[in-house]
Structure 1
Amino acid sequence: MALLECCGNKLKLPHSRALGGGVFELRDVRFGMRLYYCFREKEEIVILHGGGKKGQEKDIDTARELLKKITR
């Protein structure tokens, strides 16, 4: 989280990657944990969802649905 706060949208692999549609993934490769987030108004970071590597596809779908809800 500190890296995300410090670097924002400049954070890249292996720590973060864009998943498309405005959703990004913050990765902790040591423990296989993921946080899915988006940016609002350039400076604001919104954590949408989190989970482990094993449930990744479902977690990404959930994050995308939540992003749709907050951007209506």
Structure 2
Amino acid sequence: MTRIHAISGLDIAALPATLKARYFQLTDRMEIHGPNLREPHTKAFGEGLFELRLKGAEGIARVFYCTRIGRRIVMLHGFVEKSQKPPARELKLARQRQKEIENADA
């Protein structure tokens, strides 16, 4: 079974209700079936970074994650989306956190 970890600062509780419910539905599936749920649920951004795509009545949210050895999924950064493409600052923050996780595991 896959284990999911959220890093400090990732506030899933702050998401609107339908987005939060969708997050838990998809992460439950990830725990059982692994991290690759495929589009439209997940998307690869290269270099080991992925996004979990959440749609609900209140809009769209994205949660960036990476995978680690030992069937671990680490949720790095989440935000409510306002455009089709994730803002550069959101992607940059996710990549920074990914590097921190990789360095801690080294």
- TM-score range normalised by the length of the shorter chain: 0.7 to 0.9
Q: Is 1:39 the equivalent of 2:70?
A: no
- The answer (yes or no) to whether the contact 2:35–2:73 under 8 Å persists in 1 is no
Q: Percent identity?
A: 36
- In 2, the alpha carbon distance for the partners of 1:35 and 1:5 equals 16
Which consecutive unaligned segments of at least 5 residues does structure 2 have? 1-26
Q: Does 1:48 align with 2:79?
A: no
Could you list the per-position Cα deviations for residues 3-50 of structure 1 after superposition, in whole angstroms to 9, with x for gaps in the alignment?
Answer: 222222331000001111111100012331111101111510101000
4+ residue segments displaced more than 3 Å: none
SS in 1 for 2:29: helix
Shift of 1:54: 2.5
- Structure 1, unpaired ranges of 5+: none
**In 2: Cα distance, 1:70 partner to 1:38 partner:** 9
Higher relative contact order (CA 8 A, sep 6+): 2
Figure out how many residues of one structure are paired with residues of the other and give that number. Answer: 72
* TM-score normalised per structure 1: 0.84
Where does residue 96 of structure 2 map in the other structure?
65
TM-score by length of 2: 0.60
Give 1 or 2 for the bigger CA radius of gyration: 2
Q: What letter matches 2:62 in structure 1?
A: R
RMSD of aligned C-alpha atoms?
1.6
